[in-house]
Amino acid sequence: MADQIKIDELKKEFLAHAESAGIKLNPDEKVVNRIADGLFRNEEKHGEKYCPCRRVSGDKAEDAKKICPCFWHLDEVKKDGHCFCNLYVTK
């Protein structure tokens, strides 16, 4: 598991993004921590914080859309009430 200080810093970024985008961060702390840990693992393995719910292909151009917050998250929140990985939800 990633260092709690790093996770807390990332959660601040998540919250700031959610506020500016008119959505909110999932209130379930366990979900948020699990996703943050997955982002850090992807950063270690692939060099970027790719969403843990998206398959990384290795093609940097294709994978750029998968960096959290991913290209699709706002549409998913609007359509489904949450993004695919459940990090962001409707207000």
Domain boundaries, given as residue ranges, for the chain: 4-89
**pLDDT tier at 2 (50, 70, 90 boundaries)?**
low
**Residues for the chain: how many in total?**
91
Q: What are the tens digits of pLDDT across the range 22-45?
A: 999 999 999 999 999 999 999 999
DSSP-derived pairing of the beta strands 24-25 and 88-89 = antiparallel
Tell me, what's the pLDDT at 63? 98
Structure letter (DSSP) for residue 67:
B
**pLDDT tier at 1 (50, 70, 90 boundaries)?**
low
Query: In 3-state terms, the chain is what percent helix, strand and coil (to 5)?
Result: 55, 10, 35
Tell me, what's the pLDDT at 4? 84
- Cα–Cα distance list, 53 to 19, 20, 26, 68, 77 (Å): 22, 23, 15, 10, 15
As a whole number, mean pLDDT of residues 62-89 equals 98
Q: Which residues pair with 41 in a beta bridge?
A: none
Tell me, what's the pLDDT at 82? 98
CATH class of 4-89: alpha beta
